[in-house]
């Protein structure tokens, strides 16, 4: 579907920048560098252009593609027994809160009843900052290169969250003034941008964020005008790339300690992982790139209707049962696994020519395979570093918690076939779902969970991969595919 819009641009301003300035959503996973080719729009009387490379003279009419319905994961693993709800508002007969899972690609907002300890609804949507780049590095670079970059990205997410919160209240016939608290999880870059703090230092050695500890401020200070008196809490992070989303998610799955060694994986544009047993907790993060989010893949796309999510011996499945128009992350992994089984890709990743997939209009190129190798190699090497530092092997791991939307949709057989996770572990996966959102919700309801999360955070030992003596060797090895 398309919507005709009048877009006004300043002298020397790209159409992409003008579209962003007017608050319109447009795909630009490369951040406007002319690499991905996914910001194409139709300019009336001109034709199809790349918005990042077209510089209109004044006002133009644009047929803007409207964003497809994105499949955003809201469900999650639930601890059994769950932490005791023990936070009771003292005075208010009615008291509500918002729990926000602030992802790089998607955002989920939960409305919680703090008096009755229940969930009243959820809103999910693509992160509007996606127009400024698919990954955190692209967005940080935008902040560095544009004097108003941080403010733009801050306003984009604040406006979207405010709208979602207001919609939840309206759907439940609640006065907005009854919302007293907001708890936010996300990676450090997303948390900096939510607070309106320039995240530039996160991308510059020695990668030191402005803050990692808990942050407390009001809605008015954040620019949430409809929620101006609300108390906002950003849950603490561990390092520049292991954030509150991982801390909260890890706490949620380890409230009732599992037996033996466990591995927690959250794979997206970054890959965060935690290996733990009893009091020993090791964590690291690796830049997987946006391949598993659908970016930098010729027919890749986000998890929207029409995206191929599974390819099997009996055919393929798409999100929403719509005609196939591209591959999301799980479909991409399945596709590569099938090409490996068919002998079209060798263990070094060599693909002679573009290869057609089961949905006949889709294909993968040699460059697509290289992007997958880089992404899966980084994840697998990170896991290997943690195993190395813990002095254990993959066979010692009892369970693998797969957090997030990609992990939830990923298929056991193809994850093992391409070497994304060590062979043998694919059958030990627990699809944990949206653990970040769950952690934010439990934070609002349980003082016991808050104390547990803080204590857990203090015990996490972060492993920096950029200067780890084994990482590069592991990475080069894990770039290959299993035979």
pLDDT in tens, 127-178: 999 889 888 989 999 999 999 999 999 999 999 999 999 999 999 999 999 9
Q: What is the DSSP string of 135-203?
A: SHHHHHHHHHH-TTHHHHHHHHHHHHHHHHHHHHHHHTT--GGGEEEEEEEE-HHHHHHHHT---GGGG
Inside any domain, residue 265: no
Question: Do both 106 and 174 map to the same domain?
Answer: yes
Examine the domain organization and report whether 100 and 241 are in the same domain: yes
Q: What DSSP state is assigned to residue 465? A: G
Percent of the chain clearing pLDDT 90 (strictly above): 63
CA 23 to the chain's CA centroid: 21
- Do residues 243 and 110 both lie within one domain? yes
Least confident span in 26-40, 91-105, 300-314: 26-40
Give the Cβ contact number of residue 277 at 10 Å.
18
Residue 16 lies in a domain: yes
Domain total for the chain? 2
Bigger pLDDT: 202 vs 24: 202
> What is the reported pLDDT for 173?
96
Same domain, yes or no: 48 and 184:
no
Range of the structural domain that residue 191 is part of: 96-247
**Structural domain includes residue 444:** no
Cα–Cα dist 436/460, whole Å: 17
pLDDT at 188 over 90: yes
Q: From 207, 223, 247, give the residue that closes a domain.
A: 247
What confidence score (pLDDT) does residue 210 get? 97
- Residue 335 placed within a domain: no
DSSP class of 109: E
Same domain, yes or no, for 107 and 196? yes
User: Rounded to 5 degrees, what are φ and ψ at 406?
Assistant: -65, -45
Residue 313 lies in a domain: no
Please check whether residues 14 and 112 belong to one and the same domain: no
One domain for residues 50 and 124: no
Instruction: Judge whether residue 46 has pLDDT over 90.
Output: no
* Rg, the chain, Cα only: 22
- In three-state secondary structure terms, 112 is strand
Backbone torsions φ then ψ of 172, nearest 5 degrees = -105, 10
For 161, residues 6+ apart whose C-beta sits below 8 A from its C-beta are 98, 100, 107, 109, 194, 224
Same domain, 53 and 102: no
In a shared domain, residues 117 and 241 = yes
Look at residue 83 in the predicted model and tell me its pLDDT.
75
Regarding whether 181 and 42 lie in a shared domain, the answer is no
Inside any domain, residue 219 = yes
Question: pLDDT at residue 26 above 90?
Answer: no
Asked whether the predicted pLDDT for residue 105 surpasses 90, the reply is no
**pLDDT tens digits for range 217-246:** 999 999 999 999 999 999 999 999 999 999
Q: 216, 251, 190, 227: which is closest to 96 by C-alpha?
A: 227
Residue where a domain terminates, one of 247, 271, 287: 247
The chain-wide mean pLDDT, for the chain, equals: 90
Kindly indicate the confidence band of residue 289, based on its pLDDT and cuts at 50, 70 and 90.
confident
Q: Which one of 65, 81, 112 terminates a domain?
A: 65
Which residues have a Cβ under 8 Å from the Cβ of 309 and sit 6 or more positions away?
A: 303, 317, 318, 319, 328, 330, 331, 409
Q: What is the DSSP letter of 222?
A: H
Show the CA angle centred on residue 394, arms to residues 388 and 397, nearest 5°: 110
Mean pLDDT of 270-281: 93
pLDDT (average), residues 346-358: 94
Looking at the structure, tell me whether residues 126 and 59 fall in a common domain.
Answer: no
**In the structure, what pLDDT confidence band is assigned to residue 25 with cuts at 50, 70 and 90?**
confident
Whether 357 is in a domain gets the answer no
- Helix (H, G, I), strand (E, B), or coil: what is residue 467? helix
70 pLDDT band, cuts 50/70/90, is low
**pTM surpassing 0.85?**
yes
pLDDT reading at 363 higher than 90 = yes
What CATH number has the domain bearing residue 101? 3.30.420.480
Per-residue pLDDT, 80:
66
On whether residue 272 sits in a domain, the answer given is no
Whether 144 and 58 map to the same domain: the answer is no
* Position 35 pLDDT exceeds 90: no
């Amino acid at each position: 579907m398309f919507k005709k819009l009048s877009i006004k641009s300043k002298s020397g301003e790209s159409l992409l920048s003008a579209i962003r300035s007017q608050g319109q959503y447009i795909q630009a996973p490369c951040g406007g560098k002319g690499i991905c080719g996914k910001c194409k729009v139709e300019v009336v009387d001109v034709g199809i252009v790349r918005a990042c490379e077209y510089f209109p003279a004044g006002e133009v009419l644009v047929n803007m593609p409207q964003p497809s319905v994105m499949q955003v994961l809201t469900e999650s693993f639930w601890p059994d027994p769950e932490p005791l709800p023990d936070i009771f508002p003292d005075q208010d007969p009615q008291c509500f809160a918002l729990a926000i899972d602030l992802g790089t690609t998607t955002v989920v907002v939960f409305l919680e009843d703090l008096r009755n300890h229940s969930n009243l609804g959820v809103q999910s949507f693509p992160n509007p900052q996606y127009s400024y780049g698919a990954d955190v590095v692209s967005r940080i670079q935008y902040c560095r290169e544009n004097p108003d970059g941080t403010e733009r990205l801050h306003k984009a997410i604040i406006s979207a969250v405010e709208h979602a919160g207001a919609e939840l209240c309206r759907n439940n016939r609640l006065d907005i003034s009854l919302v007293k608290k907001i708890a936010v999880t996300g990676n450090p870059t997303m948390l900096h941008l939510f607070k309106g703090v320039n995240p530039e230092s996160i991308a510059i050695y020695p990668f030191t964020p402005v803050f990692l500890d808990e942050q407390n401020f009001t809605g008015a200070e954040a620019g949430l005008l409809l929620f101006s008196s609300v108390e906002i809490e950003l849950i603490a992070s561990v390092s520049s790339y292991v954030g509150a989303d991982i801390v909260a998610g890890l706490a949620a799955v380890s409230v009732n300690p599992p037996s033996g060694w466990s591995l927690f994986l959250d794979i997206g544009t970054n890959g965060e992982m935690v290996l733990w047993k009893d009091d020993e907790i090791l964590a690291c993060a690796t830049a997987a790139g946006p391949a598993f989010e659908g970016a930098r893949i010729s027919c890749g796309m986000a998890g929207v209707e029409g995206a191929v999510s599974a390819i099997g011996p009996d055919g393929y499945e798409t999100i929403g049962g719509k005609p196939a128009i591209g591959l999301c992350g799980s479909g991409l992994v399945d596709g590569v696994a099938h090409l490996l089984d068919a002998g079209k890709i060798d263990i070094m990743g060599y693909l002679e020519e573009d290869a057609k997939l089961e949905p006949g209009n889709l294909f993968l190129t040699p460059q697509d395979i290289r992007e997958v190798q880089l992404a899966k190699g980084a994840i697998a090497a990170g896991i290997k570093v943690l195993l190395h530092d813990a002095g254990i092997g993959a066979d010692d791991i009892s369970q693998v918690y797969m957090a997030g939307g990609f992990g939830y949709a990923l298929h056991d057989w193809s994850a093992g076939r391409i070497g994304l996770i060590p062979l043998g572990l694919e059958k030990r996966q627990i699809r944990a779902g949206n653990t970040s959102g769950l952690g934010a919700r439990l934070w609002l309801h349980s003082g016991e969970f808050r104390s547990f999360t803080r204590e857990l955070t203090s015990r996490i030992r972060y492993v920096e991969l950029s200067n780890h003596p084994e990482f590069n060797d592991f990475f080069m090895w894990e770039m290959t595919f299993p035979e």
